[in-house]
Structure 1
Amino acid sequence: MEKCLMSLPWLMCNEGKVRISQELSEGEKHGTTHRKTTVKKCLDNFGISCNEDEVPHIAILGSGGGLRAMIALQGTLGELQNHGLLDSVMYLCGVSGSTWCMSSLYKQPDWSDKLLSLEERMCEMLLSKWSFSNAKMMLEEASKEKNYSLTDFWSYIVVHWMLHELDKGSLSDQRAASENGKNPYPIYAAVDEKSFSKLAENSADTWFEFTPHEASFLGHRASVDIKYFGSEFEGGVVKTKKQEMNMSYYRGLWGSCIGSKEENIKFIKEMLSPYLTELSGSPSTHHEGQYNTQAFFPTESIMNISRIIHKTNKCLLRWKWGSINNFLYKFSGINSAELMEDKIISLIDAGVAINCAYPLILRPERKVKLILSFDYSSGDPFKTLKQAVEYCRQNSIPFPEVDEKLLREENNPSDVYIFRGENAPTVMHFPLFNKVNVPGHVTDSRSEFKSVRCTYNKEDFSKLLQAAKLNVSNNKDNILKEIRHIMDSSNRKNLYSL
């Protein structure tokens, strides 16, 4: 590789090239450095004194769970801000439905200051109608690409139908909101399907992360600038630059596991029916009143619809998701001959592995000391915690000891569980529905707000939002207590080292 002049910015030196390094991206370093000023000011307001270089790195983990997770994370963040605690957070990391909330927030450079109005906007959006014709146009364009997969259909039809929004923006557009220090730094999770099928969730090679600056294979410490993700690479260098992926596609990629395989197939087949109706020239009555359709009968339109149906059915037969150009193709800088040979990778919802992105936030370079894990799962509220324990055990990652005796009340959990460990981050685990915020109705609430539920009225939106907010307001003192405990422990270590 040619040498780049020292006077050029790092990003220009490495533009269009694979980066192999344990280090975080320069963009993430820049964003978290700016964020330290905000965190210090927040802690000062609570009487917790520290230098900027000593501020504890606190991370929020939002689990998957479809629209339930999206709405609940909005409520969680709003209540944290309401109590002045959100500004203490360095990282916000999401899986599946939580990424839908995050991707919407980070369009606003100062979203942390607008959470009440953004909450109202989310409610209005979910109560609005969706545009079938707009979705069809985006899907027609996507179907022309050779890497078309079920993720495209899921993104532009199913997720759009659920969220009532198409976002043509890009992930790199979120750099302003992640670098200015006003908001936590965002991390989005996915997994590599091929690695997952062979290695399962306890291998770091399975995990893939996205930030506004880079896309990365966690286990291989291999990254590319997010603007080049999806472009054609060979030998670690871009060969053909492709247009940056839009946020609607990413929402489908990150959130493609709202139910079982059978439920997903049912969704896709039901959503294909308007195309079949349109192709036959008959009026569409599918989901009548939920969207507006138009009949287009020119030859070009018929060809486009036929292509969509043909390609989608073909992908259904092969169960083909998240097909993306592999930036590690023929790149000798990694220890994986198989990955080097693959022109295409397949990325899917990280919820199929661990429904909370512990592997990403536990990267030692991120130096996280306190994890606020908000679990929006519909089943066992401790499953992600147990999986995180096993993942860390197999990968020799420090994690606090979890007394499973505390986790026996699966159907009647408490609202918070706190786990501390020597030389390990403290974990605060918050089950969404619990005996504090919905006493006597935990099972009923899980049944009412299923992951496969695709529509919400205003009353149910408020009910779910309130449950998430109570988990914060009832535990604000516990969160502050753990921050103080971390700072006290750090100060004692510093004193002993003198």
Structure 2
Amino acid sequence: MEQDGILSQGLITKTAGLEEEEVTRLNPDGEQQTPATKIESSLCYLLTVRVIRARNIHQADVLSQTDCYVSLWLPTASTEKFQTKTIKNCKDPVWNETFYFRIQSQVKNVLELALYDKDVVTQDDHLFTVYFDIAKLSLGEQVFMHFKCDSQRQEELEVGFALDNISGPSETIITNGILVSRKICCLEVQVVEKKKKKKKEKKSLSKKEFSFKVQGSYEGTQDITLGSDLIFSSSSPAKFHYARYKQPTLDVTLPGKKPSASVDKGFDLHMKAEDCPDHLDVRLGFDLCAQEQDFLRKRQKYIAPALKKVLQLEQDLLDHETPVVAIMTTGGGMRSLTALYGSLRGLKKLNVLDCATYLTGLSGTTWTMSNLYRDADWSQKDLNKQISEARKHMTKCKINSLSLKYMKYYKKQLCQRKREGHKTSFIDLWGLVLESLLHDGKDNHRLSDQQRAINRGQNPLPIYTAVNVKNSYSTLDFKEWVEFTPYEVGLQKYGAYVRTEDFGSEFFMGRLMKKVPESRICFLEGMWSSLFSLNVLYIWNLSHSSEDFWHRWTRDKIDDIEEEPLLPQKLHELRTRLFTPLGRLGSALRSALTDRLCIAQEHNFLKGLQMHNDYLENKHFCRWKDTVLDTFPNQLTQSEEFLSLVDTGFFINTSIMPLLKPERKVDVILHLNYSAGSQIQALNQTCKYCSEQGILFPKVDLSEEDRKNLKECYLFDGAETPGAPVLLFFPLINDTFQKYKAPSQKRSESEMEDGKVDLYGCCSPYSTYSIQYTEKAYDCLVQLGEYNILNNEELIVQALRTAVARKRQKRK
């Protein structure tokens, strides 16, 4: 694209100064919570960076000394990367160049100073990057830092810093202590051309196209095309939404001009910039949303009488005595879909289903859940109709799903989805295949439609789970929990949520910019159960619990480095670190190991938001802080264009994490396990994870005999971990069901064959990858799931009694 007349200006608009305001919310039991969101008037500072010199830079070229330059990147202040001039053939380059940044004092500002060796033929060699936290600096002081990059070769980078007050009003920010939303403006640009027509001159048919760019804005680049009227202007202005204090510039490319040409005086540019409202469409907070709190009050009317009946109490339970009970499931393809129906029917027969507040799922159990919540009163029924309907689809021939007719349908739906504004992938095709496997024809159901099934509190609140991952990292190195309810979709770690009907739409700095139609639920099911998002490291982890072997060659080399002078230690500062890039071989190996076959991507609703200066001290962030990038704020999720979502089973085959949010106050968890292979692996992984994260969870202690021969149910009351929920663990095994068709009802000789359910043998019909069951196989698995619940009624009642007693004791 040829450019001419690059117009760069600070886009300055009127500032609305607000005093600090706190939004206070109440818990469902009326207790006051920590303020969810703060609106603050916060100062901006002027950061001066002087790149002085480097010493003893090692030789990267074969035939000459290095040709060094330094790249500066501070994404919280400017989207543009700056760089010094190149000093040729010198191991001790001197630059003495100064750069200026306007920074927000409440944002975590980490400056990246990257040293490169310029190459004419090949790509510039990246020697190292220094990460320097601006929070180390004190206001009004000037310091000269010596970064010791390699002690053996005595490599060193010398940089001067100064931090000063800046004239002008302070900036209004909105923050939850982890994320910061900054003031944004909307710039409108309109082109007007006035030209007199000469006599006998033919009307010009040519069109003129202008290109405008505000780097770092939501829109990026906009084009305006002018027609050939005598007096004309663009029909609609180009609009740009940008962070007001992030050093924005407007670049203009004029039509038919070379870069050296001057601006044609016949064109007028009309520009207008206005502040955007401070209202956010992303909810920043850690409390439950208003709709979920309202649901909890309504659900109480069902739970209290149900618990009274199950526990055979003489008096009604008071609100503070009523425990929060959750049903938690694991994935397992069609096996988990089928077995969950049986488990829920068993809980219904025991009246325990009406005691549950939450029902969580991943992978195959999300298919069952999304089927059930089409019926607004499903848990008030005996479930036989739903089980029969699922049986029809589980036993039908699946070959039609790959017919030419369906292929045309898939293509049409994918094209429509792309036109709507979604980013499509093979995962979307998998969702459409699931739709054909589990339904008759097109299913228009959407997740937000499930609000009808909980609007009176008549069913447990469904929570679906996924994890957000990152390119070039395994799920052990980087994963972030994502939860989906009919009300909201959010990332627990950041305390950021959007309305379910807005998930997939485009956001910038917490504001909804472009509404994209809500996805049909089949596309979410494809993502929740994305078998095709695996990589080589996941396969390695199936048999090994550590990636140390691969990390030796594939993990980034990052070291804390010495610096002079030693600045006074501050609570919220990050250590200065040195990043040394992998060689070409290491990068290629890393790519081969971590690249996923395909992945579901959705527009990132955190886009544009920035990390708060104290985010690492925030207790909510620390609870879920477990990735290699948590101390690299420039590389966290808010900097990504898209969320990359995969099946939770690629980390741990569990949907328990949303239930461990303290705000949900879950007292009892019924852990329904449908995993293949080891029945206790996912539970052990959960225990280990919670221990490392400091999350309250009961100690799971199974004897060696139990590990070899599992029973149908185990009760872990968490007595040794005060505050932990009571856990009822139901492995999917065939134990006493072989001899009993119902609790205390032995099988006759003719019925013994029905009890021989081969769950995990080499000839088992219940493989995770099996998509079709026989009628007998389906019926047996449903009956087994139901039986294992009914046969452990005593333990379930014991767990509920323990929870009620603890609630009463806590109140006292």
Residue aligning to 1:188: 464
- Give, in whole Å, the separation in 2 of the partners of 1:171 and 1:401: 35
Residues 172 and 445 from structure 1, CA distance in 2 versus in 1: closer, same or farther, beyond 3 angstroms? farther
Specify which of 346, 349, 353 is matched with residue 651 of structure 2.
353
Specify which of 292, 310, 319 is matched with residue 28 of structure 1.
292
Residue aligning to 1:227: 501
- Give, in whole Å, the separation in 1 of the partners of 2:532 and 2:512: 34
Residue type at the aligned position of 2:789: V
Residues 150 and 319, structure 1, Cα contact 8 Å, conserved in 2: no
2:661 corresponds to 1:363? yes
Matches within 5 A, 1:400-415: 400-405=698-703, 409-410=707-708, 412-415=709-712
- Give, in whole Å, the separation in 1 of the partners of 2:461 and 2:472: 27
Paired residue secondary structure (1:168): coil
Specify which of 18, 31, 42 is matched with residue 306 of structure 2.
42
How far residue 248 of structure 1 moved from its aligned partner, in angstroms, is 0.7
Residues 442 and 163 from structure 1, CA distance in 2 versus in 1: closer, same or farther, beyond 3 angstroms? closer
Residue aligning to 1:320: 598
Residue aligning to 2:174: none
How far residue 261 of structure 1 moved from its aligned partner, in angstroms, is 6.1
Residue type at the aligned position of 1:172: S
Name the structure with the higher strand share. 2
How far residue 332 of structure 1 moved from its aligned partner, in angstroms, is 2.2
Residue aligning to 2:778: 461
Residues 193 and 348, structure 1, Cα contact 8 Å, conserved in 2: yes
Consecutive unaligned residues in structure 2, runs of 5 or more: 1-15, 24-35, 37-276, 539-594, 616-632, 740-755
Larger Rg: 2
Matches within 5 A, 1:374-385: 374-385=672-683
Q: Which has the higher contact order (CA 8 A, sep 6+)?
A: 1
Residues 302 and 457, structure 2, Cα contact 8 Å, conserved in 1: yes
- Give, in whole Å, the separation in 1 of the partners of 2:811 and 2:349: 33
Specify which of 320, 332, 338 is matched with residue 610 of structure 2.
332
Residues 446 and 20 from structure 1, CA distance in 2 versus in 1: closer, same or farther, beyond 3 angstroms? farther
Residues 670 and 728, structure 2, Cα contact 8 Å, conserved in 1: yes
Per-residue deviation, residues 337-370 of structure 1 (Å, max 9, x unmatched): 3222211111011111111112111111111111
- Give, in whole Å, the separation in 2 of the partners of 1:424 and 1:2: 45
Which moved further from structure 2: 122-131 or 419-428?
A: 122-131
2:761 corresponds to 1:485? no
Residues 162 and 455, structure 1, Cα contact 8 Å, conserved in 2: no
- Give, in whole Å, the separation in 2 of the partners of 1:167 and 1:407: 47
How far residue 200 of structure 1 moved from its aligned partner, in angstroms, is 2.3
- Give, in whole Å, the separation in 1 of the partners of 2:534 and 2:668: 33
Paired residue secondary structure (1:44): helix
- Give, in whole Å, the separation in 2 of the partners of 1:234 and 1:32: 32
- Give, in whole Å, the separation in 2 of the partners of 1:481 and 1:490: 14
Specify which of 469, 474, 488 is matched with residue 214 of structure 1.
488
Name the structure with the higher helix share. 1
Paired residue secondary structure (1:373): strand
Per-residue deviation, residues 371-390 of structure 1 (Å, max 9, x unmatched): 00000001110011101101
Residue aligning to 1:424: 724
Paired residue secondary structure (2:302): helix
Identity of aligned residues (%): 30
- Give, in whole Å, the separation in 2 of the partners of 1:457 and 1:14: 58
Residues 533 and 646, structure 2, Cα contact 8 Å, conserved in 1: no
2:412 corresponds to 1:163? no
Paired residue secondary structure (2:703): helix
- Give, in whole Å, the separation in 1 of the partners of 2:418 and 2:673: 36
Residues 380 and 260 from structure 1, CA distance in 2 versus in 1: closer, same or farther, beyond 3 angstroms? farther
- Give, in whole Å, the separation in 1 of the partners of 2:671 and 2:284: 29
Q: How many pairs does the alignment contain?
A: 434
Residues 67 and 443 from structure 1, CA distance in 2 versus in 1: closer, same or farther, beyond 3 angstroms? closer
Residue type at the aligned position of 2:455: E
How far residue 435 of structure 1 moved from its aligned partner, in angstroms, is 2.3
Specify which of 464, 473, 480 is matched with residue 197 of structure 1.
473
Paired residue secondary structure (2:724): coil
How far residue 155 of structure 1 moved from its aligned partner, in angstroms, is 0.7
2:323 corresponds to 1:56? yes
Residues 68 and 376, structure 1, Cα contact 8 Å, conserved in 2: yes
Matches within 5 A, 1:73-472: 73-114=340-381, 115-128=383-396, 132=406, 133-142=408-417, 144=419, 147-157=423-433, 159-165=434-440, 166-194=442-470, 197=473, 200=476, 206-257=480-531, 319-332=597-610, 336-338=633-635, 339-405=637-703, 409-410=707-708, 412-421=709-718, 422-438=722-738, 441=758, 443-444=760-761, 447-472=764-789
How far residue 94 of structure 1 moved from its aligned partner, in angstroms, is 0.4
- Give, in whole Å, the separation in 1 of the partners of 2:17 and 2:448: 26
Residue type at the aligned position of 2:345: G
Consecutive unaligned residues in structure 1, runs of 5 or more: 265-316
Residue aligning to 1:296: none
- Give, in whole Å, the separation in 2 of the partners of 1:78 and 1:14: 48
